[in-house]
Structure 1
Amino acid sequence: MQRLEEAWKWSDTLFDSELLEGCELEQPIDLRHPFLFYVGHLPAFAWNKACARLGLAPFNPKFDVLFERGIDPMVDDPSKCHDHPDVPDEWPTLDKVRAYRDSVRESFRKCGDSEICTELDDACGFENVLGMIEEHELMHVETLYYMLVQLHPDRKPCVSGAHLVKPSLVTTPTTKENDFAERDVNSMDSKSCVIYQEGRLARQELDRNEWCKIPAGTVTLGADQSALRFGWDNEFGCSCVPVEAFEASKFPVTIGEFASFVAAGGYHNSSLWTERDWAWRCASNVCLPTSWRSNPPSGSQASWDPSNAAQFPQDVATVLHRTTYLAHYARIKSLVDITELPVFCSLAEARAFASWKKCRIPTESEWHRMAFGHAESATE
C-alpha cells in the first residue's frame, strides 16, 4: 500500500489544493476532459483494474463507467477519437467525485498489504496490475500540470506552490560514471557539470554551451518483460542498436534561445518545417509555444502580433519584452526574467528550431547513448 499512498500524495497536491479551486470544470485543452474528470478517472481506473482480482463488489457502477476512459484522440487525426463513455450533459459535483475516490482508496486499504501484493503485484511487465495503477496515477499528474499551464490566465490559480509535497516514491537517480573515454568535456570539474541556481541553469554556464562529442557505441532499447517490475506493452521487446558517433549540445534549449528563433521569423519560414509539421502549424495557427502569450499594447508599446509574418524578423529583445509565459501556479511571468529556463514546445516546433540551427533532434538510440553511455545500464 505504501506505493499507492505515495502516488496518491502526488495527485492530491493538485486535486485537494487551491490549484483547482473554482476551475474544476474548465477545459483548457479541447481534446481533454475538464479537470473534474481526472479526479474521478484515477480511482475508476484503479477500481476497474483491481476490483475483480480483490473480490470487491461494485458500489458506484455509474461512476465506474463514466470515468473509465478519457477522450483519447487518435494520433494521426485528433478529430477522431477512440471509443469512450458519453460525455454527460452535467458532470457530478466535485464533492461526489471526491467521495467516490475516497471510497475506492478505503476499499484498497481494507484489503491490506498482503492481499494487494498477492493479487496485484504478482507478475512482471505490463501484467503487473499494481505497477500499472501506480504508473497511471503519476502519469496523469503530468497531464494535469500541462493542462494547468494552458489554462486561461484569468482563471489560473495564483499560489506559491509551497504546499506541494515531494513524495519519496520519486527519487533523483544517482550519477554513474560512463564509458565516454573520448568525451570532449572535463570529467569531474565544475565546468563539466550542469549548474543550477534555484532550478535555473547558471548564466555563465549557458554562455559556454559547447557541444559534446559522443563516441560510437551500442545501446539497448526496450526490455525483456521479466526485467522490469512494470512497463507498458510498447516498452517490451529488447534489442541492441549500434549508434554512430555524433555531437550534442551540453544543455537543453532555453527560452532565450528559442526566442531568437521566434524573432527570426521561424514560425513563418516553411523551409524549416516538414510538410506535415507545416500543415499542422498553419491549420492550428501556431505562432508561439503553447505556454507563451504575446502582450497586448500598453503605454508607448505598439501591438505585436506573432501571427503576422510581415512583422518579422524582429529584434529578440522585442520578443522577450512583449511575451509572457503561463506558469503552473503564478498567472504570468515575463520571458525577460526566465530566459535561462528550458523551453517547452511541441515536437514539430522543436524540429523547426533544430532545422533553423542547422541541427536535428536526437534519435531515441542517440538519446540513450547520451543518457546511459553503455548498453548495460540502459534499462536501469
Structure 2
Amino acid sequence: MQSVISSEFKLLDNYQRVRAQTQFLCDPLEIEDFVVQPVIDVSPLKWHLGHTTWFFENFILAPNVEGYKVFHPKYALLFNSYYISAGDRWSRENRGQLTRPTVKEVFEYRDYVNQHMSNFLMEGVSDEIAEIVILGINHEQQHQELFLYDIKRILGDNPLYPAYREDQIAVKRVKSNTDWLKIPESIYEIGFQGKGFHFDNEEGVHKVFLHAYQIGSSLVTNGEYIEFINSGAYTSHSLWLSEAWDWVNKNNICAPRYWEMIDGEWWHYTLYGFEKINSGDPLCHVSYYEADAFARWKGCRLPTEQEWEVACNTFSPKVSNKGNFVEENNFRPIQTEDHNFFGNVWEWTSSPYVSYPYYNPPAGALGEYNGKFMVNQMVLRGGSFGTARSHIRSTYRNFFHPHLRWMFSGIRLAKHI
C-alpha cells in the first residue's frame, strides 16, 4: 500500500469526494434495501456503510486522535470484516440477522466519523498516516463496487425486478470489431513501478518470459455468448473442467447470472430493471468456469494475468477518458471506442491468485488486507463500469473464487501465435 504524498495532494478533498460518492450510490434506495442478505457472498448494504466507516475510525482516529471516543463500543465487533488482528468479528453469514443498529444509526455513525476525520485531516498529517488514509479511500472505492454487486443481487432476485436507478443515460453504442492484437516473444517486467498508490499485492516487480501470443482487441459480447449457449455448450462435458462440470450440473447452470429466456428471446436483469439483451454489449456475470469453457469452445484460451498486463501496457498504457467507469453513471457495460482494457467488466485470466516474488505484506492488521486470500482464487484484471477511474491501473489484481459471478465479470480471449 505504499504511496508518495506530495504537498499538492488534497487528502481531505479526496476523502470527502469518495464518501460523497457512497452517499450518491445510496440515494435511489429505500430503507428496506439496506438490510437484506440473501447469501453469504452478499453483505447487507448498511454493513458496507458501517464497515468502511469503522476502517477510518479503527485505523486512523482511535490510534491517532487524543481523547477520541468511539461512536459505539460494539460497532467494531459488527463492522470488522476479516482483520483478526483488529479483534473479534460478527460472522459474515449472519450479518443479515441484525436489524439493529438501524440504517439511520449507521448513517449517524458515518456523519460522526466524517466530522472527526475532517477535523483531523485539516490539521495536517504525517506521510505514514496519509498512506493509511489513502488506503482507506481506495478501500471504500472497492466497497462502492461491491455495494453495486450486492444491490443488483438483492433486487435482481426479486420477482418484481425493481430498478435500482431510473435516470438512464442514452448512450451511443459502438459496434464490436473483434480483431487480434499481437505481442512478440520477449522478457517483460510485471508489477507496480513508479509513484502513486497501489495495493501490496501489486508489489514485487519481476521479469517474465512470454511466448508470442495474440489477445482479443475487444471484450466478448452477449451475442457471441448466445451462440455458445445455442451450440449446446452447457450440456457438452468436453468443454468444461471437471470441477466446472460438477458446478454446472449441481446448480442447473444454463446461462449467465440474471439471464432468462422468454418466448424465445434472452432477457436479463439490469440496474435499470428487466430488459431484452443487447447482443452487442459486453458479456457480464459469468464465472471463471464459464469463461474457460467459452474460450475452449472458440478454440482459444484465457490470457494469463502477465499476458493481460503486457497487452494493456502496450495498447492502452493510460486509463482512457473513453472508458466506461462508475463516474459515467451508465451502470451497465457498453462497448467503447478503445480496446476496453479498462472499465466495463473485469476480465477473467487463467492465473491463480498467488504472491509475486519479493512480496512483503505490511505488519499488523493491514497486512491481512490481501495476502491471506492468496489461495483457491483466480485473478481478474481491468475494472468495470462500477469501478472508479482513479482506482484502476494496469497492475491492479482483483481476485474471486472461480464459481462466483454476481460481480461484473466478463471475457477477453487469447491464443498462441
Normalised to the residue count of structure 2, the TM-score between the two structures is: 0.65
Give, in angstroms, the shift of residue 132 of structure 1.
1.3
Q: Which amino acid aligns with 1:217?
A: S
Q: 1:3 corresponds to which residue?
A: 14
Alignment of 1:164-203 (within 5 A): 198=171, 200-202=173-175
**Residue of structure 2 equivalent to 1:339:** 279
Pick from 79, 101, 113 the counterpart of residue 110 of structure 2: 101
Give yes or no for the alignment of 1:261 onto 2:263.
no
Which structure is larger by alpha-carbon Rg, 1 or 2?
1
Q: Identity of counterpart residues, as a percentage?
A: 25
Q: Deviations over 1:312-365 (max 9, x none)?
A: xxxxxx3xx1x211112x111101xx1111011121111111011010001111
Structure number with higher helix proportion: 1
Matched residues in 2 for 1:41 and 1:161: separation?
Answer: 28
SS at match of 1:198: coil
> Contact 1:149–1:291 at 8 Å: present in 2 too?
no
Q: Which residue of 1 aligns with 2:302?
A: 361
Match of 1:232 in 2: 199
Which structure carries more strand by proportion? 2
Contact residue 53 and residue 119 of structure 1 kept, 8 A: no
Structure 2 CA distance for partners of 1:247 and 1:26, relative to 1, 3 Å:
same
1:210 to 149, 160, 179: 179
1:24 to 2, 11, 34: 34
Instruction: Give the letter aligned to residue 221 of structure 1.
Output: I
Please say if 1:276 is aligned against 2:235. Answer: no
User: Which of 49, 53, 64 is matched with 1:53 structurally?
Assistant: 64
Tell me how large the CA RMSD over aligned residues is. Answer: 3.0
Deviations 1:191-221 (A, max 9, x none): xxxxxx926332xxx3x42223222233322
Equivalent residue number for residue 76 of structure 2: 64
Q: Distance in 2 between matches of 1:278 and 1:141?
A: 33
**Cα distance change on mapping 1:252 and 1:14 into 2, 3 Å:** same
293 and 26 in structure 1: CA distance in 2 versus 1, 3 angstrom threshold: farther
Displacement of 1:236 after TM fit? 1.4
Q: How many residues align?
A: 298
Corresponding position: 1:148 with 2:151: yes
Contact 1:157 1:331 in 2 (8 A): yes
Structure 2, unaligned stretches of length 5 or more? Answer: 1-11, 319-393, 397-417
SS of 1:23's equivalent in the other structure is: helix
How far apart, CA to CA, are the structure 2 residues paired with 1:379 and 1:39? Answer: 27
**Structure 2 residue identity aligned to 1:67:** F
| Distance of aligned partners of 1:4 and 1:58 in 2 relative to their CA distance in 1, 3 Å threshold | same
